[in-house]
Amino acid sequence: MNVQSIKGLVQPDRVHRAVYTDGALFELEMDRIFGRAWLILGHESQIRNPGDFFTTRMGRESVIVTRHTDGSVRVLVNRCAHRGARVCDAVAGTAAEFVCAYHGWTYGTDGSLRGVPLPGGYDRPAAEMTKGGLARVPRVATYRGFVFASLAEHGPSLTEFLGPLRASFDDFVDRAPAGEVETAGGVFKHAYHGNWKLVLENHNDTVHPAFVHASSIWAAREQPAAAGEAYSEIGVRQMLQNGAPWEVWENTGLWVAGYGHSWMGDYHDDDRLVAALDHPGFAEYRAALERRLGREGTARVLGELRWNSIVYPNCSFMSQFRQLRVVHPIAVDRTVVHAYSFRLKGAPEQMFRDTIAFSNVVNGTASPVLTDDLEVYERTQHGLGGRRTDWVYLGRGHGGDVAAGDGAFRGGTGTSEVHIRNQFAAWLEYMTAEA
C-alpha cells in the first residue's frame, strides 16, 4: 500500500475500517510502528541480578531481556543464528548462557556466540557467518526502572518520546516510600479476537463504562458498604464508580501528547474511597512516605490522581493502582495483553493486598469488568469486518481541544475522543515516514 492510500485512511474525525481489519496494513504496522517506536518491555526488578532474564515480544520479534555480567540490560532477538529456532523458551529465569535446543549452539547473556558443537564441519567459521551471535536490539533505555527498547537504529531518545507522560511514571514510582517499585504477584494474561488498537482506545474512553460495565455497576450497588478493611471494598468501589454521573466524566481531565500518548485524571469522588483506604496499613504507609518526602511532598504525591496512562503503541498503566499492561499484537484480529502488579517498596504489606484486590477486579481473568471490555472488542472487530460501511466515526469533542503546555493538549471535556484521534495522528506519522 503506498503512502497516498495510507493517508486516505485517516481523516480528522474518522478512520477507514481497514486500519482494524486489513492484514497487509497489520504487517506494515509491525514494521513501521512496532519496528520503530520505543516499546515497553518490562521492569528492572524482573532482572535484578546478572544472568536474570525474561522473554517477551516486540511486535513480531521474540526477544530475551537479560541482565548481563557487567550489570547492563541487553535485549537479544530470540532467534538462533544457526537455523533460526527460538533459543530461549522459558518465560523468565536465571542462566549463565542460552543453549539452542536444536543443535546446541550456545550464547552468552549479551548474545555473543560462545560455542558451536562440531565447529570444524562448517564451510566458514560460525562467528563470522553469524556476525557474532544473536542479533541485538539496537536501542535499549530505562526510565525510573521501566525497560524500553526500539528495533530502529535511529529515532527520538526515550526522554523525548515519553515527553510529558514521564510524569505518569514519576507518579508511579514516587508513591513508594523507598522510592522504588517492583513487579510482584504474578502476571494476568488475556487474549481477545480483535485488533491491538481497540484496547488502547478503550482505556481512556469515559463514555463506555456506563454501558459496557452496567452489569457490574448494578451488582455493586446492591452491596452494603463494608465495615472496616474488607478485601473486596476496593473492587466494589471501582465497579460503583464506573456508574458515576455524566458530569463526573465530563469533568475528568483527559490529556494527549506527541507520539500518540494520553492520560486521564481520576473520576473517583466517592466517600467509599476514603473508607476503603482508611485502614491502619494506609496510615502506616503515609507515615513511611512522609519520612522520605515530608508532609507536603507526601500530600503532593498522594494528591496526584491519574487514572490510565497510555504509552502508544504497547502499554497502558495505572500509576495510582500499581498496574501495568503490555499489549502484544498477534494478528490483525488477535491481541494478547499481559497485566503486571507492582509492590511499593517500603510500604506495609496491606498496600500490596489492596493492589491485588484492585487487580483482581480490573485485570483478573475472572474479572466481572474486564470480561465485558473483551466482549465489546470482539463485537467491534466483528462489526468492522462488514463491508457495507467503511468509516469509523471519532468525532466526539473534535475541534474542542485546548493546549495544555509541554506539548500536551487537553480534551474540551473528559468524554472527548481526543485520545483516539491523537493515536491515529501518531499512527499516520509512523506509517508514512520514510524508512
Considering beta carbons, is residue 103 or 221 the nearer one to ligand FES?
Answer: 103
CB of 88 to ligand FES, least distance (A): 11
Q: Is 83 in the site for ligand FES (CB under 6 A)?
A: yes
Phi, psi of 127, rounded to the nearest 5 degrees: -60, -35
Q: Is 201 in the site for Fe ion (CB under 5 A)?
A: no
Restricting to residues 356-375, name those near Fe ion by CB under 5 A: 373
Exposed, middle or buried: residue 221 (CB in 10 Å: 0-12, 13-18, 19+)? Answer: exposed
CB of 53 to ligand FES, least distance (A): 17
Which residue in 26, 34, 105, 249 binds ligand FES (CB under 6 A)? 105
Segment contacting ligand FES by CB under 6 A, of 17-25, 77-85, 338-346, 383-391: 77-85
Q: Is 424 in the site for ligand FES (CB under 6 A)?
A: no
Q: Is 354 in the site for Fe ion (CB under 5 A)?
A: no
Number of residues that bind ligand FES (CB under 6 A): 9
Q: Is 100 in the site for ligand FES (CB under 6 A)?
A: yes
Q: Is 103 in the site for ligand FES (CB under 6 A)?
A: yes
Q: Do the beta carbons of residue 74 and residue 140 sit within 8 Å?
A: yes
CB of 80 to ligand FES, least distance (A): 3
Considering beta carbons, is residue 105 or 255 the nearer one to ligand FES?
Answer: 105
CB of 101 to ligand FES, least distance (A): 7
DSSP letters spanning 123-184: SS-HHHHTTTBSPBPSEEEEETTEEEEESSSS---HHHHHGGGHHHHHHHHHTSTTS-EEEE
CB of 240 to Fe ion, least distance (A): 14
Query: Could you identify the residue written with the cell 556476525?
Result: 131
Cell of 79: 532467534
**Which residue, among 197, 134, 172, has the nearest Cα to 43 in the 3D structure?**
172
Considering beta carbons, is residue 82 or 419 the nearer one to ligand FES?
Answer: 82
Cell of 354: 489492596
Segment contacting ligand FES by CB under 6 A, of 41-49, 102-110, 173-181, 339-347: 102-110
- The residues facing 306 across adjacent strands are 265
CB of 115 to ligand FES, least distance (A): 10
- Long-range contacts of the stretch 66-70 (C-beta < 8 A, 24+): 66/109, 66/110, 67/109, 68/108, 68/109, 68/110, 69/108, 69/109, 69/110
Residues lying near ligand FES in the complex (CB under 6 A) are found at: 80, 82-83, 85, 100, 102-105
